[in-house]
Amino acid sequence: MFSLQLRDDAHLGPLEVWHAQEFADHLDRAREHIRPWVGPSFVTGDLAGARATLQRYAEFQARDGARLYGVRHDGLLVGGVMFTSFDAAVGSCEVGCWLEPSAEGHGLVTQACRALLDWAFTVRGLHRAEWHCRADNDRSSAVAKRLGMTLEGVRREAWPYEGRRYDKQVWAVLAPEWRDLGR
């Protein structure tokens, strides 16, 4: 079984279809907190929806595409990180994250995203990694900065949510920059 220790009390590991109940329970704790910041298809409302999300990511990964990983703190699934897109042929990916409120402020997302980016750049040989977030999501922007990413631009009113449109930031880091950061 794959599990990467982030620190003594936290681990990163794949989220697979057989984790559907655990994922559904986690979403019950996280749903309203993450809803404004993640895509609507990710925030499922029941076990069947959780299973469908995990199945969708399993199919993406089987095609060497997007991937989904859980962050566990003291054994409890509290959030995760993901490659929302992954294209080895083009040499680029997009990284994303989510956490339930109790897990925020402990550096878990930054550590987990560093692991994903390091794998993408050093093992898979990708050249570019992006981070997209709503412009008003200060916590997400702060993670991008801690990862050494550069804000490349803002896509105006590109994020629809509950009848409004929000600006979306696009951050990125390139493989040579990642190496220069000593990661």
Token code pair at residue 130 = 């992006």
- The helix or strand, by DSSP H or E, that contains position 110, with its residue range, turns out to be helix 108-118
The pLDDT tens digits for 123-145 are 999 999 999 999 999 999 999 99
**Residue numbers of the chain with a pLDDT score lower than 50:** none
pTM of this prediction? 0.93
Looking at the DSSP bridge assignments, the partners of residue 165 are 160
Enter the CATH code of domain 4-180: 3.40.630.30
pLDDT at 1: 54
Amino acid found at 13? G
Is residue 92 left, alpha or beta, with left meaning phi > 0 and alpha meaning psi from -120 to 50? Answer: beta
pLDDT at 166: 96
Q: In what order do the strands lie in the sheet with 10-14?
A: 4-7, 10-14, 67-73, 76-87, 92-99, 128-134, 164-174, 150-161
Where exactly are the structural domains of the chain?
4-180
| Cα maximum dimension of the chain | 44
| C-alpha gyration radius of the chain | 16
Q: How far is CA 76 from the centre of its chain?
A: 17
pLDDT at 39: 82
